[in-house]
Structure 1
Amino acid sequence: MRNTLILAGAAALMTLSASANAQETVIIQQAPVATQSTIVVPAPIETYVLQREVRSVPYEGDVVIGRVIEDPVELYPVEGYENYSYTVVNERRVIVDPQTREIIQIIE
């Protein structure tokens, strides 16, 4: 009987401590977040880019994150977000850093 009470008490303590830890974690993501190889772009930018009609430009090579889109491919500004531009290359919508012209996200 005593062993059963000890086990029940230990189980209750473990459950309570797990619940307390779970309640302490709050994640708020407002600004872009850099990970090892990608930048997570705020959702309003993706929505903006998906709503725009832009003709696709043929581009030599793979469309991958980190690739620099050279001139003469036109980049279009994202209204309200000066650190982002977009274009469509090889039928793929991409978000680009306007200073470096580097692809930071591909919208599938």
Structure 2
Amino acid sequence: MKKLVISAVSLFLSLGGAAVGQTATVTVPGEVRTYVLEQQSPSVTFEGDVAVGTTLPDTVEINTIPDQPEYGYVVVNKKRVLVNPNTRAVIEVIE
């Protein structure tokens, strides 16, 4: 029984470390933020909180950023957010 508990704790700790690694801070270039702030895009409504790590549904259209294919943006609930266009995960909430 003791071995089983130790194994379960070890598994939990190893999985917890993987989850922490997924929420690492992304350093976004200043020109990307500037570009997003200058755009006039309509806001879409999203049920729930919009925070770093939130995955946006396929129904939300992600706008591309010229010369920066690793970043996209969308205005959600009147907040401008940077998004990873491949995973649809929010990288940063700008405003």
Other-structure match for 1:106: 93
Report the Cα offset of residue 37 of structure 1. Answer: 3.6
Report the Cα offset of residue 71 of structure 1. Answer: 1.4
Bigger proportion of residues as strand? 1
Other-structure match for 2:26: 39
Higher CA-based Rg: 1
Structure 1 residue 88 corresponds to structure 2 residue 78:
no
The correspondence for 1:97, drawn from 74, 84, 88, is: 84
Distance in 1, Cα, partners of 2:55 & 2:34:
23
Q: Number of matched residues?
A: 74
The correspondence for 1:69, drawn from 49, 52, 56, is: 56
Higher relative contact order (CA 8 A, sep 6+): 2
Matches of residues 46-61 of structure 1 in structure 2 within 5 Å?
46-61=33-48
Runs of 4+ aligned structure 1 residues displaced above 4 Å come to none
Q: Is the 8 A contact 1:38 1:65 kept in 2?
A: no
Structure 1: gaps (5+ residues): 1-35
Instruction: State the one-letter code of the partner of 1:57.
Output: V
Question: How many percent identity over aligned positions?
Answer: 42
Q: Deviations over 1:29-48 (max 9, x none)?
A: xxxxxxx6421200000000
- Note the aligned Cα RMSD (angstroms): 1.4
Report the TM-score when normalising by structure 1: 0.65
The correspondence for 1:79, drawn from 38, 52, 66, is: 66
Distance in 1, Cα, partners of 2:78 & 2:62:
15
